[in-house]
Chain A
Amino acid sequence: METTAAALMDQARAAVEPVSQLAVRAQGEDLEACRPHLECAVRLLEAALAAVGHGGQDCAGLRALGQFRRELKKAEVLHEHAGAFYGGLMRVLTNGLEAGYSPRGAGDWRFPAGRRVSIQA
């Protein structure tokens, strides 16, 4: 595997790409699934910076960095939009939650941690 800064930045960009797709679906589990991709991107970017420090760099590194920044910006935008959507949804749900309504009866609406759930807009 190439360890030049440009190659590492390309790999970091590839790691961020799935984040955009997951942010569009924007279900709870999708956002959780973003995390390993982002952590991977952080590790690759740190490695890329180390590579720059040791050997200096050329234009290829800058080009790769630019592409990475665009991919990151795109993912950030989608991620923020998803956050904004859920903020609105939270406001919608607040009324129902305060009423204590649940289609499964008037019980505690919270449930044990670790249960897989899905959300539909």
Chain B
Amino acid sequence: MSLLASLSNTSNTLNAFERAITVAQNNVSNASTPGYASQRLDLNAMPFDPAAGLTGGVVAGDVQSSRNEFAEAAVERAQTSLGTASQQTASLTAVQSALNLSGADGIPATLGNLFQSFSAWSQDPMSEASRQAVMSSAQQVVDSFQTTVTALQQVNQDTERQIGQSVDQINAYAQQLASYNSELRSGDRSDAALDAKIHNTLENLSQIVNFTASVEADGTVTVMIGGQAPLVVGDRQYKITGQIADPASLPPGNPGVPPTANILDASGQDITSKISGGSLDALLDTHNQVLASLLGDAQQPGDLNRLAQAFADNVNQLLMAGNVSDGPPPVTGSPLFSYDTSNATNTAATLAVAPGMTADQLAAIDPGPPYVSNGVAVHLAALANPQDAADEIDNVSYVEFFGNLAAGVGRQLSAATDQQGIQQQVVTQAQNLRQQISGVSLDEQAAALVQFQRAYQANAQLFSVLDSLTQTAVNMLQPLG
């Protein structure tokens, strides 16, 4: 081998390994950079034939990223599911707390107290103290309904605020991605730092909303919400907006209904139905389904309002059918409760002890036939365990009905909590898998060096033996040649 050829060989090799070490150093430096995928430099052997002037050695090839898009997508999917479950858990916990199922001032407790007051009154219908106790208990029932509605409305407002924040966060991530795409177009497509930023942003985005991300021919990432609504295409961002629908624009059914939350794409199209994952999905579900089923919307009065109306109407009808005194002339009873009859979704919030109603206007007498001096009071006390379908709501007692509402929320919360735990494990698994594929592990790299060193020394000894044997062969064969 000529001196020039040897120098050329050495120069190429140094260049190749300098690049390789740069890549390795980059990997080590970014071992803890979020979203970073380790890189590898391809090394190619050069032809070796001294007779033909081919000096062998190695040259540097392309830098390859170890990023695996399947592993990335798996992490993003897991993060989306975790985002849904985590937000559901948080939101449903707030709803459950607002329902105050077991509190002394919750709806079940105050209804129970009122039924006990009716029972005590039925035993002594003329007792002023018993009548006052009924009035006091009725006021507690009213207060509990209003407190529950206020707490649920607060949850509703918090949810609307969080929806707005989520939309802002999505748009902020979209803006970042569009900016990164622009950098990609104008710079180095194999820029590992930029690649790390893009994938870290995508992972953050996946916790909020479901999307599909695809890498285009120019290296940019296209992001479509729900796989259909564009969010980022090239260096363009398509802003989404959150809209709390104006009740006036909703179909007339329940005037003055609580508004519905919608998400609109950049062209104003409603894409709410395309959002099926992430914390935003859970917030929309809480607002438009869970809370709407309790407080009402354009299509339904809401179960809490149904309960308030059914209970108040039944109590009022019984009292108004009875007599306060026999007379003559007999004095008929007055309604105990009042509420806003113009808006079915406002019943629980406006439930009140009827204005002007006093304890001595409570009608205990059932004029019959048969005449029963405490018939109405007995009937009212029996509402705790109704025997008649007219005293029930959806075939259960009023207290059971409320219990079923709370149990429904509790079941959803329990499922969401379980799902959150499972999804946390799935996310960890997916991240570990990705780390194995794309991550940089210093300990493994160091251990591999030890392994390499051992192998290198063993091989070097064998090369030495082979050199020695070759020289012997040369000595033996040359005389014959």
Contact = CB atoms under 8 A, between A and B. Distances in A.
A85 B463 contact: no
Contacts of B324: none
A37 to B, nearest CB: 9
A73 B25 CA distance: 30
Given A79-B463, A104-B441, A117 B451 contact: yes
A49 B474 CA distance: 10
A121 B38 CA distance: 9
Contacts of A32: 451, 454-455
A85 B476 contact: no
Contacts of A90: 449
B33 to A, nearest CB: 10
Given A27-B448, A86-B452, A38 B466 contact: yes
Interface in A64-81: 65, 68-70, 72-79, 81
Given A53-B476, A74-B56, A117-B444, A92 B25 contact: yes
A75 to B, nearest CB: 8
B25 A117 contact: no
A78 B451 contact: no
A97 B465 CA distance: 35
A115 B28 CA distance: 21
Interface in A43-75: 45-46, 48-49, 52-53, 56-59, 61-62, 65, 68-70, 72-75
A68 B49 CA distance: 12
A97 B349 CA distance: 66
A93 interface: yes
Given A81-B58, A85-B17, A49 B455 contact: no
A72 B467 contact: yes
Contact of A69 (B24, B440, B444, B470): B470
A109 B443 contact: yes
B69 to A, nearest CB: 18
Contacts of A75: 463
A79 B56 CA distance: 12
A115 B39 CA distance: 22
B56 A31 contact: no
Contact of A121 (B23, B49, B458): B23
A82 B27 CA distance: 19
A52 B474 CA distance: 11
B283 to A, nearest CB: 34
* Most chain B CB atoms below 10 A, which of A19, A81, A82: A81
Contacts of A117: 444, 447-448, 451
B102 interface: no
A20 B455 contact: no
Interface residues of A, number: 70
B372 interface: no
A5 to B, nearest CB: 8
A56 B44 CA distance: 40
Interface residues of B, number: 62
Interface centre among A5, A32, A58 (most CB of B within 10 A): A32
Given A68-B470, A93-B28, A102-B443, A79 B452 contact: no
Contacts of B462: 35, 38-39, 41-42
Nearest to B43: A24
B453 A86 contact: yes
B21 interface: yes
B481 A72 contact: no
A34 B463 CA distance: 11
Contacts of A92: 21, 24-25, 28
Contact of A89 (B21, B48, B476): B21
Nearest to A95: B28
Contacts of A46: 469
Contacts of B17: 81, 84-85, 88
A102 B478 CA distance: 57
Contact of A72 (B440, B454, B466): B466
B365 to A, nearest CB: 79
Contact of A77 (B9, B23, B469): B9
Contacts of A3: none
B472 interface: yes
Nearest to A71: B48
B345 to A, nearest CB: 54
19 contacts: A20-B45, A26-B452, A31-B456, A32-B454, A48-B473, A57-B477, A70-B49, A72-B467, A73-B56, A74-B48, A74-B56, A76-B467, A85-B20, A92-B21, A101-B32, A103-B31, A104-B441, A109-B446, A119-B452
Given A32-B451, A120-B24, 10 more contacts: A9-B473, A38-B459, A38-B466, A90-B449, A92-B21, A93-B28, A101-B32, A102-B442, A103-B31, A109-B446
The 7 closest A-B pairs by CB, nearest first: A119-B448, A31-B455, A28-B451, A74-B48, A109-B443, A38-B462, A121-B20
